[in-house]
Structure 1
Amino acid sequence: RTPVEPDTRSPRHKALQTALSAGTIFKEPAVTVASRDEDGVETGYKITFTPSLNSGARGFQTKVDEALAALAGHHESGRTWATEWTPSEGYLVMYLRAPLPIRVDHPLALVDENLRHLPYATGAANLSLYWDVSTKSNKPHCLIVGPTGGGKTSVIRTLLTEASRRGIPFLGVDPKMIELDGLEGYPGCAAIVYDAVRSAMLVRALHAEMMARNHYVHVKKIEPSQLPLLIAVLDEFFILSGKWQRLAKDEDEEIRAQIKQLDPLGAWADLAVLARSAGIRLLLGVQRPDASLFGSSSGNARDNFGTRISLGNLSQDGALMMWGDAHVGREVDTSIPGRGVVTALDGSPVDAQMWWTPNVDPHPNKWNQLSKEEKAIVHGLTPTESPTFEFFSTELREFVESERVLARRAREYGDAPEPSVLTDFATDHDTVGADDFADAIPASAVTEGMVILLDDDNGDQVPVTVDTVTVMRDKDTGDVLETVLSINTGGRVKTTVHFAATEVVMLPEPDTVLTT
């Protein structure tokens, strides 16, 4: 008789080999143990196969990764499975990925010595992830997507404090008057703008600065890399866009004419495409991704926003928009503050833990809320010398100068009324003020049954329920052309409202990111 060798393979090893041999994923697959821990527990496998056209395709690899992780199942160490492919030589290696940290305080040491790398998060194996703002970067602009309370504000603070300590100045727009408020007066901060009209003026001034910088490069025959960098932050873009939209229909003819002349959305669309060559980097914060962020040149602009950060769970459409994959960013552990998905150094999406940067606002009401350790972080991050702000256009210089005068006057003379006790209920609950909306989203993102705000005959905003939504898209690109909302006002005749591709609608309640 021929002796039968006992099968000493582990159940996990057997499961992998049996499933691969019975399936059609690979031709002639063979599974061997690649590594064990000190207790002899298997921690890695090498899978060999006959190379094919599919084995080199990223989409195929992603699906195989998911299947192999499911077959291997939960590991005793609590770590998760990852794969490293070498398709040209016909093998891949499965290994255990180190778990992400639950919290990372903003390191005081300069994590990356390249002054054009702005680190902001920690990935697997303690890998530092950064926004490359250099001229050579193929991901020059940054898009941050996250719901209220998801950690977006802390990420913005992290990036801007890193920019400051690396000699890069910044300015920003904050329509909610919350997110960037504490950065006003911070070293390297030229201005933080809150007013919608002033914000439109800033975007137009940035456009003039871009053109002046390009003209300087042309006349002086220098390389764009010799231009000083500048970061411009636009947070809560859809709220800002909604305010501009309302101002364009304002009763005051002078305001309407001013917004039309400034054309902030047109200037923004140009900046999104052309600012990279002028040394201007854009940092955009929104609650949900949408193609209307990038105006009519959505393809080119979207490519420029290659550094992407998503916090919280994305909808299926949001995942496709952000990552090109309907499954990425949809199962984030939201119980851990600062957990999300970011762009890795190779451009692929990876899980990451955002660094925690405390509020840097020195006002006693804010400062006294910080712990001793948080105050130490703020002190350690603050540079001893403020970055220099160099202007190439008179428009941006004059705007910043005037904004600083207005900000100083607001600090010296500004006041806010104390809260009062409600003694009687107002009789009119059906209308809200012109700027009294909680949030704004693209019209194309509205869903049936959603409550939105529309202007009545008196120009007041009233809450209405959307009956049906029709989104017209370009048959070739899939870009939104027009959105039509049908509103049931209680009668037999329904009201139909048309919205252009980039228009937004106002909401009476904060936007929530869909998870279905």
Structure 2
Amino acid sequence: MVVLAAAPLRETCARPRIEAAVAMKSRPAGGTRTAAAGGSETLVGGGLPPTPLSGLVARLVMSLALAVMIGMATPMLELARPAVAAAVAVLVAIAAACSFVVQLRARARQQECDRAIEALARHLRLPQLTRRACRASRWRDGWVGVPDRVVWQYGPGAPNTDSEWLTELVDVTGRRFGGRYEVAQQKPRQRRVYLVRDLSPASASAGDRRVKAFSRQIFGAGSKVAVELDDDGEIAAFEVRDIDAVKFSDRITQSRAERKVSNLMPDRFRAKFDVVRAQVRFERRPTFPESVWIPVVDIDTSLDVLQSYDQVEIQYAVDEDRNILAWSPAIQPNLMLIGTPGTGKTVTAHTLLVQASRYGWPIWVVDGKSIEFLGFQDWPNVQIVATTTAEQVAVIERAHALMEYRYQLITKGTVTENNFEPLLLFLDEWADFRANLLDWYADVKPGGRGSSKPRALSMAASIARKGRSSRVHLVFGTQRPDAEYFTGDMRDNFPLKISMGRLTPQAAMMAWESPVIGTTIPRKRRGRATTVDHEGMPIEAQCYRTPDPRKVADESFEAELLDKLRPAEVKHPRLLIVPPELDPANADRDDDFVYADYASASWVLASSRPDLDPVAQRRCDPVDGRTLSSPLTMLGLGGDAGESREGTDATPSTPPSAGASSMPSAPRAGADDVDDAPFTTVDDGYDDADEVHVGEVKIGDLVLVDDALEHWAVVVDVGDDLIEPDCVAISWRDDHDGDGELTVSTDDIVIVRKPSKEPLDA
């Protein structure tokens, strides 16, 4: 039940109360016409006449006179002894006094009711003043006391279905009688409203009373609230019944009510609306962990990949309730991973790779930055990590060829889809790979009528469209969903998306077809992402943290975790791609190699060509990394510099050159592009601060919450305040996962920073 406090919760933009006492004048014959709220007219008398005190005094005097007469007449008539007569007279006098006191208190209580009737006459739309309009009973707490039950009779024109009308009725009743009331029942046919007094003990927490008060203001005076406390006596949850189901039927209004309640409570709460039952339940929202290490899940490795294919669930994150979110490739064939540097995108990609390898899946990796997956070159079941452009082209070409080959087998009726071992293909940092590929293609493009673009680009899109039936699954990683390749057709081929960190409204529109989803993620919470739940609805999640084998220290927690995650059995051997110029089959060839030569390069087992195996070379040829990476070595001056250092193991005499690489490659990723880059600052992606009218504030803008602290936060929602009707509520969320609400007048000016309107495909 809703406790209705006499005073409003806020002073800002407070709604003027309807209470207006009728002037205490003598009532003219027939009453007078007065304009009521809403424009209708009601007939209201001048005031209720007070109960005369003279009648009570006269009855008291008569009772006392009777007592005296009894005392005097009894001895004269010799009906009793004098002592008995005196006692009878005293009892009569006491009875008379008690009767007078009782009637005097009844008169005082009636006066309280009269004042309440006069104050609410217009609000109740009474045709005339009558004491039948209010019935108060069960008085307690004091000589006059406060009634526990008040029944109001309203006029035919009263808007009894209006929540504000009921709120005003309860407010004025509480102020007039000095208690807190709530609507217990309403009988429209009899035009009656039954109010009951809240009898919660005075020791009830202020938070309990506050919840009931603002719930009435948000959901209507007729709503009822039941509060649940935890072991510490704090509010853990509360349920509001008899809400306006029509008003709160849409998701936008429900979200605003949820944020309003959270902003009025010391903790964040979430809402679960049941519009059918006209009720809502609020529960304390759990906090997201700042980091969650990848769990070591028990997997039945005795099952063959064909047997376990339909049951594979690659866990990658948890939601706020710690529910595990997983990717089921048999249902969602492809996954798109979106995120700028520093958001945790590469770490999440490592999580997907490690989890898939434990199921015994063969994995091919196209490492667009050339350095993000180096630590997994010797990871069990990772067959190849392509780090050069030529290798990456060969991987895409062979994955596409495998897909087409399997389609041919299906067409011939030789096999069915159930005979195919799954293959997981990672295309990471697509924008970098695409740029490098176009630059490289200019050097290896065949003459004549060769294609203007490398066919690897169209093959990647083809794998996204057709890979499911051939069980060639794709994990597509990119920093932003560029419009050039993220069309509707491409988007539909990725039923599961994970967008890391905060998106701009433009990027959110491309990724989620909504300018709102994913735009309020705290920027200083690495690994926080937007994804979908098991019902396909976008939710916020915390992605698992997986160590990079290349960066962990020996005997550290990360090293121990990787040992537990490492598959015990290698089911798929490592592979190498033989560069055309190093292939013995091309020993007699004099002409330059073109795109097709690299695309169709030979593949061999890594164990058969240790001279081409980067893992074997790193193990056999330790070098002084500091000297090798110095500018002097790069400039060809490394010999002298290396001799001046003590303890160097090896110093190359000549620097690497573009022609020294066995396969052409031009990676463009800089040091500041790696996933360990610092978090983006508040200035990234937004225009300069500007003063705008509150009506121009949009979701996704940055709003200045506190000028003195330079506290900026992203706007989560903008809409009419649910408590203050003449105000606008701006809900916000900052980079530290804090949230709140600004309540401003509809004419106010606020300081915001709009998202930059730079084209996504720039």
After superposition, the CA RMSD in angstroms is: 3.9
Match of 2:260 in 1: 70
Deviation at 1:153, TM superposition (A): 1.5
Deviation at 1:182, TM superposition (A): 0.9
Establish whether residue 419 from structure 1 lines up as the match of residue 629 from structure 2. yes
Shift in CA distance, 160/31, structure 1 to aligned 2, threshold 3 Å: farther
Shift in CA distance, 256/322, structure 1 to aligned 2, threshold 3 Å: farther
Question: TM-score if structure 2 supplies the norm length?
Answer: 0.48
Shift in CA distance, 413/103, structure 1 to aligned 2, threshold 3 Å: closer
Q: What is the CA deviation profile of residues 418-475 of structure 1, one whole-angstrom value per residue up to 9, with x for unaligned ones?
A: 234579x9xxxxxxx994744799xxxxxxxx9xxxxxxxxxxxxxxxxxxxxxxxxx
Q: Could you tell me how far apart the structure 1 residues matched to 2:264 and 2:298 are? A: 36
Deviation at 1:82, TM superposition (A): 2.1
Asked whether the equivalents of residues 316 and 326 of structure 2 are also in contact (C-alpha less than 8 Å), the reply is yes
Query: Which residue of 318, 323, 342 maps to 1:122?
Result: 318
Paired residue secondary structure (1:68): helix
Residue identity opposite 1:285 in structure 2: G
Paired residue secondary structure (2:629): coil
Query: Which residue of 283, 293, 302 maps to 1:95?
Result: 283
Shift in CA distance, 81/301, structure 1 to aligned 2, threshold 3 Å: same
Gaps of 5+ in 1: 23-28, 426-432, 442-449, 451-513
Query: Which residue of 347, 350, 354 maps to 2:543?
Result: 354
Match of 2:436 in 1: 243
Shift in CA distance, 248/436, structure 1 to aligned 2, threshold 3 Å: closer
Match of 2:568 in 1: 384
Query: Which residue of 293, 304, 312 maps to 2:485?
Result: 293
Deviation at 1:263, TM superposition (A): 0.5
Shift in CA distance, 262/325, structure 1 to aligned 2, threshold 3 Å: closer
Asked whether the equivalents of residues 151 and 311 of structure 1 are also in contact (C-alpha less than 8 Å), the reply is yes
Paired residue secondary structure (1:354): strand
Deviation at 1:306, TM superposition (A): 1.8
Deviation at 1:120, TM superposition (A): 1.1
Deviation at 1:236, TM superposition (A): 0.6
Paired residue secondary structure (2:342): coil
Deviation at 1:40, TM superposition (A): 5.1
Q: Could you tell me how far apart the structure 1 residues matched to 2:611 and 2:385 are? A: 9
Asked whether the equivalents of residues 51 and 90 of structure 1 are also in contact (C-alpha less than 8 Å), the reply is yes
Q: Could you tell me how far apart the structure 2 residues matched to 1:255 and 1:35 are? A: 77
Match of 1:110 in 2: 298
Q: Which has the higher contact order (CA 8 A, sep 6+)?
A: 1
Match of 2:366 in 1: 173
Identity of aligned residues (%): 21
Q: Could you tell me how far apart the structure 2 residues matched to 1:193 and 1:406 are? A: 16
Asked whether the equivalents of residues 249 and 256 of structure 1 are also in contact (C-alpha less than 8 Å), the reply is no
* Larger CA Rg, structure 1 vs 2: 2
Residue identity opposite 2:260 in structure 1: A
Asked whether the equivalents of residues 502 and 519 of structure 2 are also in contact (C-alpha less than 8 Å), the reply is yes
Match of 2:101 in 1: none
Match of 2:469 in 1: 277
Gaps of 5+ in 2: 1-109, 111-135, 137-146, 150-179, 182-197, 199-207, 301-307, 576-597, 636-657, 659-664, 674-683, 685-753, 757-762
Match of 1:373 in 2: 557
Shift in CA distance, 413/102, structure 1 to aligned 2, threshold 3 Å: closer
Residue identity opposite 2:223 in structure 1: A
Asked whether the equivalents of residues 141 and 283 of structure 1 are also in contact (C-alpha less than 8 Å), the reply is yes
Residue identity opposite 2:557 in structure 1: E
Deviation at 1:383, TM superposition (A): 1.0
Q: Could you tell me how far apart the structure 2 residues matched to 1:420 and 1:328 are? A: 45
Residue identity opposite 2:604 in structure 1: E
Shift in CA distance, 74/375, structure 1 to aligned 2, threshold 3 Å: farther
Establish whether residue 143 from structure 1 lines up as the match of residue 327 from structure 2. no
Match of 1:335 in 2: 524
Match of 1:453 in 2: none
Paired residue secondary structure (1:292): coil
Shift in CA distance, 255/343, structure 1 to aligned 2, threshold 3 Å: farther
Query: Which residue of 218, 238, 242 maps to 1:19?
Result: 218
Deviation at 1:177, TM superposition (A): 1.4
Match of 2:235 in 1: 41
- What is the aligned length? 411
Shift in CA distance, 261/331, structure 1 to aligned 2, threshold 3 Å: closer
Paired residue secondary structure (2:518): coil
Q: What is the CA deviation profile of residues 232-257 of structure 1, one whole-angstrom value per residue up to 9, with x for unaligned ones?
A: 0011101111122223434x554998
Paired residue secondary structure (1:293): coil
Match of 2:514 in 1: 325
Deviation at 1:288, TM superposition (A): 1.1
Residue identity opposite 1:271 in structure 2: I
Shift in CA distance, 74/244, structure 1 to aligned 2, threshold 3 Å: farther
Match of 2:689 in 1: none
Q: Could you tell me how far apart the structure 2 residues matched to 1:239 and 1:282 are? A: 17
Q: Could you tell me how far apart the structure 1 residues matched to 2:230 and 2:373 are? A: 47
Residue identity opposite 1:10 in structure 2: R
Shift in CA distance, 266/314, structure 1 to aligned 2, threshold 3 Å: same
Paired residue secondary structure (1:283): strand
Residue identity opposite 1:306 in structure 2: P
Q: Could you tell me how far apart the structure 2 residues matched to 1:406 and 1:235 are? A: 26
Q: Could you tell me how far apart the structure 2 residues matched to 1:256 and 1:358 are? A: 48
Q: Could you tell me how far apart the structure 2 residues matched to 1:201 and 1:171 are? A: 11
Shift in CA distance, 253/130, structure 1 to aligned 2, threshold 3 Å: closer
Asked whether the equivalents of residues 30 and 48 of structure 1 are also in contact (C-alpha less than 8 Å), the reply is yes
Shift in CA distance, 116/130, structure 1 to aligned 2, threshold 3 Å: same
Mapping 1:186-265, distance limit 5 Å: 186-220=379-413, 223-250=416-443, 253-254=445-446, 263-265=455-457
Q: Could you tell me how far apart the structure 2 residues matched to 1:54 and 1:221 are? A: 58
Deviation at 1:34, TM superposition (A): 5.6
Which stretch has the larger CA shift, 193-202 or 110-119? 110-119
Q: Could you tell me how far apart the structure 2 residues matched to 1:221 and 1:49 are? A: 63
Deviation at 1:111, TM superposition (A): 8.5
Deviation at 1:300, TM superposition (A): 3.4
Q: What is the CA deviation profile of residues 461-496 of structure 1, one whole-angstrom value per residue up to 9, with x for unaligned ones?
A: xxxxxxxxxxxxxxxxxxxxxxxxxxxxxxxxxxxx
Paired residue secondary structure (1:46): strand
Residue identity opposite 1:70 in structure 2: K
Asked whether the equivalents of residues 146 and 152 of structure 1 are also in contact (C-alpha less than 8 Å), the reply is yes
Residue identity opposite 1:377 in structure 2: L
Q: Could you tell me how far apart the structure 2 residues matched to 1:314 and 1:111 are? A: 35
Q: Could you tell me how far apart the structure 2 residues matched to 1:400 and 1:161 are? A: 24
Asked whether the equivalents of residues 150 and 338 of structure 1 are also in contact (C-alpha less than 8 Å), the reply is yes
Deviation at 1:206, TM superposition (A): 1.4
Asked whether the equivalents of residues 239 and 279 of structure 2 are also in contact (C-alpha less than 8 Å), the reply is no
Shift in CA distance, 18/256, structure 1 to aligned 2, threshold 3 Å: farther
Q: Could you tell me how far apart the structure 2 residues matched to 1:81 and 1:390 are? A: 51
Q: Could you tell me how far apart the structure 1 residues matched to 2:463 and 2:343 are? A: 27
Question: TM-score if structure 1 supplies the norm length?
Answer: 0.69
Q: Could you tell me how far apart the structure 1 residues matched to 2:448 and 2:630 are? A: 35
Query: Which residue of 590, 604, 610 maps to 1:401?
Result: 604
Deviation at 1:215, TM superposition (A): 2.3
Q: What is the CA deviation profile of residues 316-370 of structure 1, one whole-angstrom value per residue up to 9, with x for unaligned ones?
A: 1112222333222222223333222222111122222211111124xxxx44x35
Match of 1:476 in 2: none
Residue identity opposite 1:281 in structure 2: H
Asked whether the equivalents of residues 44 and 93 of structure 1 are also in contact (C-alpha less than 8 Å), the reply is yes
Shift in CA distance, 53/245, structure 1 to aligned 2, threshold 3 Å: farther
Shift in CA distance, 267/35, structure 1 to aligned 2, threshold 3 Å: same
Match of 2:49 in 1: none
Q: Could you tell me how far apart the structure 2 residues matched to 1:370 and 1:48 are? A: 62
Asked whether the equivalents of residues 384 and 574 of structure 2 are also in contact (C-alpha less than 8 Å), the reply is no
Match of 2:271 in 1: 83
